[in-house]
Amino acid sequence: MGKSAFPAALEYFFKSLEVAERYNFKSGMASAMGNIGIVYDNEKDYNKALRYHYKSLKIEEEIGNLDGVAESYNSIGNIYYYKQNYAKVIECYNKALDIKIKLGDEIGCASTLANIGNIYFYKKEYVKTREYYFKALTYFEKLENLQAIGMLSNNIAETYIGEKNFKEALKYSQKSLQVSTQIGVLDDIKNAYSSLSTIYAGLGNHKLSTDNLRLYIRYNDSIYNDENKRKAIEIDIKYHFDKKATNTRIENERKQIILKEEAEKQKLIIYFGLGFLILVIVFAIYAFRSFKIKQKINAQLSIQKEEIVAQRDEIELQRSIVEEKNKGLTDSINYAKRIQYTLLAHEAYLSENLKEHFVYFQPKDIVSGDFYWATNMEGAAENGGDLFYLAVCDCTGHGVPGAFMSLLSIGFLSEAIKEKHIKEPGEIFNYVRERLIENISKEEQKDGFDGVLICMNTKDGKVTYAAANSEPVLVDGETVSYLLADKMPVGIGITKDSFNTFELSYKKGDTLYIYTDGYADQFGGPKGKKFKYKQLNELLLAASGNDVAYQKENLKTNFHKWKRDLEQVDDVCVIGIRL
């Protein structure tokens, strides 16, 4: 049901409440108030929603309807979740759980335990999360609910991913994939592949990470191709809801006419019946008829209550469809972000190998086509020193396509250095170019990246590098030196010469800057023009005498000052290294 139908739903439920109150039909009053709360919940008017759910709860407690009390607590807990009051959410869910246990409602117990686990997951309390997930899983296994088992197994895997315990996470994601594939639940299969991609990335198996990411994207596309079917279901549900609402409104009007007629008859009986035995008999007969009519009305109210409950379920179904549609898109992007950030060079690792440095990384979207990655080869230098490698690259595209390219590129860089033991930066770029062309650059598509790969000998400080369509700069405090670079990408380009390995000549205290084109290409300023490389290098020169933390903050401040309220045009990555 669309948002435009909410006022009609409210009108219907308030009329239902009015009828229930007239006959002191407590159960009907509680149900109507709960439905009113659900509509306000859908309209995001959480204060009104709480007010009516608490009223419904009070009546359910008065009449001793434990199942209704539990549902009210669950509904109230859901609203506190939207208000981000997690303590109240857990309190309400636990009260609902106690009742479900008392009633022996195993399905209700399992669902509520899983919901409590979800709240602890949002709070990143992973040990507590698993405590509730495992309890819920026990119920679902007893009930042989395979869909819930598959979904919950992957949720458990997510808690281990949060703790970077990738081996344990692998076990539960594989279980989720097996069960979900067995019953053919596409959404759960998709989520399992996404988790597996993250897990294999964390385990350093970039090939399997990429394979699972491809499968995730394939299933995600398949789900969204079914969207037209879902829309058809929405239209059908809306039609039936409107039809039921119209029929119920007509029935209510008919009952009002009956009630009005009966009231007029009662007046006549009072006026002419006093003192006359025969009219007393007539009145007795009439009272009996009134009793039968009231029985009929009560029966109709009972049917109406069932309709109200069914309509509430339809509203819940609609909300879940809309939320799932929006969640699917957001989840796919967030999964890609998590996978990408697992592979980027972590700050702790950079600090171990670079004494003074900064990283200013500002993706245009949630995920990025720019990446910075680092690794080392122990004892690989001729003098016995370690070789430390750092790549700063800009892949074709940005957002999810760019992020996908970055994962492939990182995988091939790692393959060249860690598996093929190629040492020279230029030769590494040659290898990665061939691997990219073999795997993705079909029909002369220019997929690949521009970037810089530096190699530092940790023993003697020697620095070599390769540069593809990207010039690093060296600042000595007074001047900016533009370093050599090959005018071709790592991928299909106009030329396909071998990449050079350049040696960097520097003095202690000089600062090396490596960046992608996003900062210089940003539109802004008083005339809405590009920032450009000249202005960027002047900014770097002016700040080069300060500590690296100041330089990073200075870049960030000037970028946002220049951009103002304009859209960011590309991913931004700037790295500074004091040599």
Torsion of CA 373, 374, 377, 379, to 10 degrees: 160
Specify the pairing of strand 370-377 against strand 387-395: antiparallel
**How many other C-beta atoms lie within 10 A of the C-beta of residue 2?**
10
Q: How far apart are CA 514 and CA 373, in angstroms?
A: 13
> Which residue did the predictor score with more confidence, 167 or 206?
167
CATH class given for the domain over 344-578: alpha beta
Helices vs strands, H then E, count in the chain? 18, 13
Segment 219-237 mean pLDDT: 57
Average pLDDT, stretch 354-373? 92
70-79, 153-162, 211-220, 288-297 — which is least confidently predicted? Answer: 288-297
pLDDT value at 250 more than 90: no
H or E segment to which residue 389 belongs: strand 387-395
Q: Place 245 in a pLDDT band, splitting at 50, 70 and 90.
A: very low
CA dist., res. 160 & res. 167, Å (int): 8
**17: confidence class by pLDDT, cuts 50, 70, 90:** confident
Rounded CA separation 59/72 (Å): 10
Q: How far is CA 68 from the centre of its chain?
A: 31
Residue 320: band (very low, low, confident or very high) from pLDDT cuts 50, 70, 90: low
Q: Give the tens place of pLDDT for each residue, 381-407.
A: 888 889 999 999 999 877 777 877 888
- Residue 480 φ then ψ, to 5°: -110, 125
Rounded to whole angstroms, the Cα distance separating 6 from 12 reads: 10
pLDDT in tens, 265-294: 444 444 434 444 433 443 444 444 544 444
Q: What is the pLDDT of residue 337?
A: 73
**Is the separation of the CB atoms in 133 and 170 below 8 Å?**
no
**Cβ atoms of 452 and 517 closer than 8 Å:** no
Do 302 and 26 touch, CB atoms closer than 8 A?
Answer: no
pLDDT at 145 > cutoff 60:
yes
Phi, psi of 391 (to 5 degrees): -110, 135
369 CB contacts (<8 Å, ≥6 apart)?
Answer: 394, 395, 396, 397, 398, 399, 401, 402, 403, 405, 406, 571
- Give the least confident one: 19-33, 288-302, 393-407: 288-302
> What span, in angstroms and rounded, lies between the C-alpha atoms of 441 and 492?
7
**Every domain of the chain and the residues it spans:** 235-340, 344-578
**Residue 333: predicted pLDDT:** 65
More confident residue, 162 or 221: 162
Mean pLDDT on 96-103: 94
- pLDDT tens digits, 408-455: 899 899 999 999 999 999 999 999 999 988 887 555 567 889 999 999
How far is the C-alpha of 369 from the C-alpha of 451, rounded, in Å?
12
Predicted confidence (pLDDT) at residue 259 exceeds the cutoff of 80: no
Which of 56-60, 317-321, 365-369 shows the highest mean pLDDT? 56-60
pLDDT given at position 141:
93
pTM for the predicted model, two decimal places: 0.55
Judged by phi (left if over 0) then psi (alpha if -120 to 50, else beta), residue 422 lies in beta
Most confident of 188-192, 194-198, 395-399, 573-577: 573-577
Q: What is the pLDDT of residues 526-552, one digit of tens each?
A: 999 999 999 999 999 999 999 999 999
Q: What pLDDT, in 10s, does the model give residues 499-519?
A: 999 999 999 999 999 999 999
